[in-house]
A = this chain, B = another copy of it.
Amino acid sequence: MVNDQENQKKRAVTWFKTLRDKICKVCETIEDEHKGPFSEQPPGRFEKTTWQRPDKNDDGGGGEMSIMYGRVFEKIGVNISTVKGTFSEEFRQQIRGATKDGEFWAAGISLVAHPQSPLVPAVHMNTRHIITSKGWFGGGADLTPVYPNNEDTLIFHSSLRDVCDSYGEDYYERFKKWCDQYFYLPHREEARGVGGIFFDDINTGDWEFDFSFIKEVGMAFCDVYPKIVRQHMNLEWTEKQRIHQLERRGRYVEFNLLYDRGTQFGLKTGGNTDAIFMSLPPKVTWK
């Protein structure tokens, strides 16, 4: 029976790649379908860049960064990576199960979309598998509309709730709360967006069960976000709405640089700077 950790790693890596391909495909389809503002421009296409993690043994892994600058998606980045190495001594103390020598293996997918239209919500999704002396999954998805509306918020949350409810009675409540607490800007006393789910340290003892949950989170995202985009992408917006969008994006930058653990993890483990900052909005203003 092939169920050893090496095989699990391989399956996780393959899944993150599959999900990346699915997401890129649906987003390019949305670009093709678009009939709203900027539809006189050609539909966007992802461009892929591969990167290697610098490592003295040339074995630190790397990733693939796919970025599209389109007519619906002003900037959307989807990054997959598989890295291994050694945590710095300082960082080691913050990591669950970090061994004495600080060795780790990590693979994952992360996505951030910044639409042209202030009426189409920005979104973030990430799932990951990390192995130190322990192994666990983490991830989440959260929606950041410039102009929140109940319908979008409801279908986004329901979709994630449906997945959570199949895996644990308390999953949704816990992960939604975790998301609200995590994506919060204390200096602004503001939530980053309308939330979603956020989770870490997922290890029930049944790897298949946990991996299945991670896959379903990815698939639910890949289904629900395009619905929300298609709902609004063809609408006209005003200059005032655009100005407000660019200001709100400032909050996104503030969160990512001041508080985001993924950003810190990437910077402290010698991740690829372009891939880490792929999440930053293309245009931003501060008053």
Determine the distance from Cα of A284 to Cα of B276 in the docked complex, in whole angstroms. 17
Scan residues 234-275 of chain A and give those whose CB is less than 8 A from a CB of chain B.
250, 253-254, 257-258, 267, 273
Determine the distance from Cα of A254 to Cα of B253 in the docked complex, in whole angstroms. 9
The total of chain A residues at the interface (CB under 8 A) is 20
How close is A192's CB to chain B, nearest CB, in angstroms?
14
A168 interface residue per 8 A CB criterion:
no
Picked from B186, B258, B281, B287, the residue with its CB within 8 Å of the CB of A286 is: B281
In the bound complex, residues from chain B placing their C-beta under 8 Å from that of A281 are: 286
A10 interface residue per 8 A CB criterion:
no
A15 interface residue per 8 A CB criterion:
no
Question: Per DSSP, are chain A's interface residues mostly helix, strand or loop, or mixed?
Answer: mixed
How close is A248's CB to chain B, nearest CB, in angstroms?
14
| Chain B residue with the shortest CB-CB distance to A188 | B273
Please determine whether B276 and A286 come into contact, CB atoms closer than 8 angstroms.
no
A282 interface residue per 8 A CB criterion:
yes
In the bound complex, residues from chain B placing their C-beta under 8 Å from that of A186 are: 267
How close is A189's CB to chain B, nearest CB, in angstroms?
9
A285 interface residue per 8 A CB criterion:
yes
A-B contacts, 27 of them at CB < 8 A, read: A186-B267, A187-B267, A187-B273, A187-B276, A188-B273, A250-B280, A253-B253, A253-B257, A253-B284, A254-B257, A254-B277, A257-B257, A257-B258, A258-B258, A258-B267, A277-B286, A280-B286, A281-B286, A282-B285, A282-B286, A282-B287, A283-B283, A283-B284, A283-B285, A284-B284, A284-B285, A284-B286
